[in-house]
Structure 1
Amino acid sequence: MSSADRTPGPPRAAQRAFEPVAKALAGRRWFPLWAVVHHRGRKSGTAFETPIAIVPTTDPATVLIGLPWGAHTNWARNVVAAGGAVLTWRGRDVTTTDARIVECDEAAPLARPFFRFVVRRMPAALVLRRS
């Protein structure tokens, strides 16, 4: 795959500025749209905690995470390789399985109607099942 086929990642300056705020809010009971995904590197085995945005779904057993930077996002590939992850979401740890990356056309119908427009604008999404 050439570099032209990849969606560029977030601007580094914006990522550095935003990350402390995201880490402070993600996973809190009173902030349900953000969570923290706990995962391990595919090659290094290093433990990571990544703040992410949860997309509300029509099925409570489905967890949907938009991938605005595309399917090649490292943390998402780590979760798929592991088959799932633990999320700290709404103040609790949630175990997930059956991780898969899907295109926006498959992900949009899983989202609540108000959020489908946003999901359709993303290049990909991560779908997980609560276990």
Structure 2
Amino acid sequence: MPLPATLARFNRVVTNRLLRPLAAHLPYMAVVEHRGRRSGRLYRTPVNVFVDGDRYRFALTYGTDVDWLRNVRAAGGCTVITRGRAVPVTDPRLGHDPHAAWAPPPVRWVLTTIGAHHYLDCTAAAAVIT
């Protein structure tokens, strides 16, 4: 089972506000810019990201029932800010791997321990915004 919803709420209110400025520059971290499905409001959510060429894979540590994921899937993409660069990504696809074989070993251990078996794959769009 992924991390509990109560922790997600706490992180949204407290931790995300502190982490957001750093996440765009830290390894394995990013900020996902996405628009609300109903409100159209721009949101910025810190996430774990793993880049392989033009593929961006996000660890879904809170499972698949989170607002940012629904927004990205509904819009067909988002902008990922990582390592100081803003990269538009498209074609969001959910994946499932109970062994997190795609993740680096320490991350793999954490993901399997907390039961975070899902991930989101996206592909970088042709243009990169800096």
CA RMSD in angstroms comes to 2.4
Shift of 1:26: 1.3
Aligned to 2:24: 27
Do residues 89 (structure 1) and 86 (structure 2) align?
Answer: no
| Cα distance in 1 between the residues matched to 2:117 and 2:33 | 23
Q: Which residue of 2 aligns with 1:67?
A: 60
1:44-83 → structure 2 map (5 Å cutoff): 44-54=39-49, 56-57=50-51, 59-83=52-76
Q: Cα offset for 1:108?
A: 2.8
CA distance in 2, matches of 1:34, 1:103: 20
Tell me which stretches of 4 or more aligned residues in structure 1 moved more than 6 Å: none
CA distance in 2, matches of 1:126, 1:10: 22
Code of the aligned partner of 2:15: F
Deviation track 1:35-82 (CA, whole Å, cap 9, x = no partner) reads 11110111222111111121x35x322111111111111101110111
Q: Which runs of 5+ in 1 are unaligned?
A: 1-5
**Structure 2 vs 1, CA of residues 15 and 40 (structure 1 numbering), >3 Å: closer, same or farther?**
closer
| Farther-moved stretch of structure 1 (92-101 vs 10-19) | 10-19
Report the identity percentage.
Answer: 33
* Number of aligned residue pairs: 121
- Whether the 8 Å contact between 1:80 and 1:101 is mirrored in structure 2 is no
Pairing partner for 2:31 from 22, 30, 36: 36
TM-score, structure 1 normalization: 0.76
TM-score for the superposition, normalised by structure 2 = 0.77
Q: Distance in 1 between matches of 2:92 and 2:100?
A: 16
Q: Evaluate the alpha carbon distance shift between residue 90 and residue 82 of structure 1 in structure 2; reply closer, same or farther with a 3 A threshold.
A: same
